[in-house]
Amino acid sequence: MEPLNERSYRVVPGTTYGTPKEIWGFRARAGRGAPADIARRFLRVHTDLLGLAGIRSHLTLQRVVPSLGATHLIFQQRHRQLPIYRAYVTVHVSHDRHIYLVKNRAVPKDFQKERGRFRLSKSAAARRARRTLKGPEGTARVVAVDRRWFPADEILHPAYRVRVHRERPREEWIIYVNAHSGGILSQYDNLATARGRAAVFDPNPVVALNDWRSLRSPTGRPRRPPQAAYASVSLTDLKGNGRLEGRRVTTCLTPRPVKRADEQFVFSSAEPGFLETMTYFHVDRAIRYLESLGYRGARAIFSTPLPINAAGTRQDNSWYSPGLRQLTFGTGGVDDAEDAEIVLHEFGHALQDAICPDFGQSAQAAAMGEGFGDYFAASFFAAVKPSRLRPLLMSWDSIADSTDEPPYLRRVDTALTFESFDHSDDADEHENGQIWSATLWDIWNALGREVADRLVIDSHFQLDGFTTFARGARAIIDADRNLFRGRHVVRLRDIFTRRGIGPVG
């Protein structure tokens, strides 16, 4: 393998170590052998360029993630046999064996001075992590503790990563505790939530009836939908045990799960079992759609059934839990699981986490997570919605609260650009997410659902939990080069430029 010509690639410089953070905008000559062999040769030849001298042997292949257009290899950096937090190198190899992107978060050898040792026990670290959270300590539950190094101030600190779950308020924290001093190095609530009230059907009564006025009572409260709002559907791949458990989805987490020996799950929205039926059907169908795009077999995104609690809280809130890898829906207001657009928005978080674990740990990444969830729901149901409702989301959920005609909670066709991104500490990721969803919706309108969905979903395989809008845009362009030989790059660049997102290459 020959070294890259310095004029053939672009570099995103790192601000912490002075080594390249990303190398992009190139397409190396096709390599020979398996993608892992091609990646290792590239790292060996470009050791000096990437600042890997003295540490390349400490990079261990952690994951090989195949997508439709490429293979994505994640090399975790270790120090004294333990992983270093956020220290990795990813190499992205197209299926025709061209490397086109390298992301470098490795800690150079000169920055590997240690400070302290592992003095705290795991149990002590868990107690310290719980004490950082406000509220009764007994409501917090530690679900995992593991040792690693935490780089900060050009020093490696011994640390424990502690995952803490809490029900009230609903939170899921990743907390890094200094294993020497007991101090808190980092903490982040990694729970993906969406606030809303919804009703389902396919996707909801407002869409099914193409009417919202008749669904409001004179007092403004939602009326029970008529029979015409319901769709008759088939439930696939049930285990045959009388419960809503199948190959892709299980609602076993729901309190008092419904059971029908004849597998006839026919309920009105007022009856027990309706919420389970709707979540099972819509999530199962969404996963089957992913399989139809090519994500099956070795490329399957979900290898085990996705657990769902269709009535997990009385709050008007729903979420995906990355630590537990399960979906929970609330019953405050209109039951959330009655609205397929709420269901698929939350499924969007599960999809991102299955591809890129712990996605959304920065302001931009969190906004992209919310924007993608909205986009996925809008794209999925666009074909069955009247044109005036197509860009509007969760109309049934907002029917009692929205003053808009037609009602909606959020929409995907705003004129927002990245210039309007709210960088304040109390910014709402759902509001910021509308910039990203509108950008993805532009792609959908320009290229059509099948192309847009493939590009957007496949782009996630080269992102990380702390990604940015610009990197997300570049990943979509790379996906187009890998899947469609760059057929849509010009239009994609134009869309990102109009939305103020870049540079994109």
104-153 per-position pLDDT tens digit? 999 999 999 999 999 999 999 999 999 988 766 567 889 999 999 999 98
Q: DSSP letters along 165-223, please? A: EETTTTEEEEEEEETTT--EEEEEE--EEEE-----SSS-HHHHHT-SGGGB-TTSPBP
DSSP class of residue 245 equals B
Residue 315 neighbours by CB distance under 10 Å: 18
Residue 103 neighbours by CB distance under 10 Å: 23
Distance CA 345, CA 243 (A): 24
197-240 tens-digit pLDDT: 323 589 999 999 999 999 998 888 889 999 999 999 888 888 88
Axis crossing angle, helix 363-381 with helix 274-293, rounded to the nearest 10: 90
pLDDT at residue 397, as a whole number: 87
Please give the structure tokens belonging to residue 431. Answer: 């509001």
pLDDT at residue 199, as a whole number: 36
- pLDDT value at 196 more than 50: no
Q: How many helices (H) and strands (E) does the chain have?
A: 11, 17
- pLDDT value at 401 more than 90: no
Check if the beta carbon of residue 398 is closer than 8 Å to that of residue 196.
Answer: yes
pLDDT band at 92 (very low <50, low <70, confident <90, very high): very high
Q: Please name the residues in contact with 493: beta carbons below 8 A apart, sequence gap of 6 or more.
A: 477, 504
pLDDT at residue 198, as a whole number: 28
Q: Indicate the length of the chain as a whole number.
A: 505
Amino acid symbol at 77 = Q
Amino acid symbol at 159 = A
Distance CA 500, CA 362 (A): 19
CA-angle at 471, arms to 82 and 459, nearest 5°: 85
Fold (topology level) of 10-110: TATA-Binding Protein (3.30.310)
335/499: higher pLDDT: 499
Alpha-carbon distance values, 370 to 2, 34, 248, 319, 467 (Å): 41, 36, 23, 11, 13
Amino acid symbol at 330 = G
pLDDT at residue 220, as a whole number: 83
The backbone region for 96, taken as left when phi is positive above 0, alpha when psi lies in -120 to 50, beta otherwise, is alpha
pLDDT at residue 193, as a whole number: 62
What CATH class has 194-498? mainly alpha
Q: For 148-164, what is the mean pLDDT?
A: 96
Q: For 350-360, what is the mean pLDDT?
A: 95
Distance CA 383, CA 82 (A): 49
The set of long-range contacts for 57-66, using a CB threshold of 8 Å and a minimum separation of 24, is 59/88, 59/89, 59/106, 61/36, 62/88, 64/35, 64/36, 65/355, 65/461, 66/298, 66/299
Distance CA 287, CA 233 (A): 16
Instruction: Name the helix (H) or strand (E) containing 347.
Output: helix 340-355
- pLDDT value at 453 more than 80: yes
pLDDT at residue 498, as a whole number: 98
255-280 tens-digit pLDDT: 999 998 888 888 899 988 999 999 99
Instruction: Name the helix (H) or strand (E) containing 332.
Output: none
Nearest to 443 by CA among 455, 459, 457, 432: 455
Integer distance in angstroms from the first to the last C-alpha of the chain?
Answer: 24
Instruction: Name the helix (H) or strand (E) containing 433.
Output: helix 429-447
Nearest to 231 by CA among 378, 386, 384: 384
Phi and psi at residue 72, in whole multiples of 5°? -115, 120
Mean pLDDT of the chain: 93
Domain residue extents for the chain: 10-110, 122-189, 194-498
146-150, 311-315, 382-386, range with the lowest pLDDT: 311-315
- pLDDT value at 337 more than 50: yes
Torsion of CA 6, 8, 9, 13, to 10 degrees: 30
Phi and psi at residue 268, in whole multiples of 5°? -85, 170
Burial group, residue 102, by CB count within 10 angstroms (0-12, 13-18, 19+)? buried
Phi and psi at residue 238, in whole multiples of 5°? -70, 150
pLDDT band at 194 (very low <50, low <70, confident <90, very high): low
pLDDT band at 166 (very low <50, low <70, confident <90, very high): confident
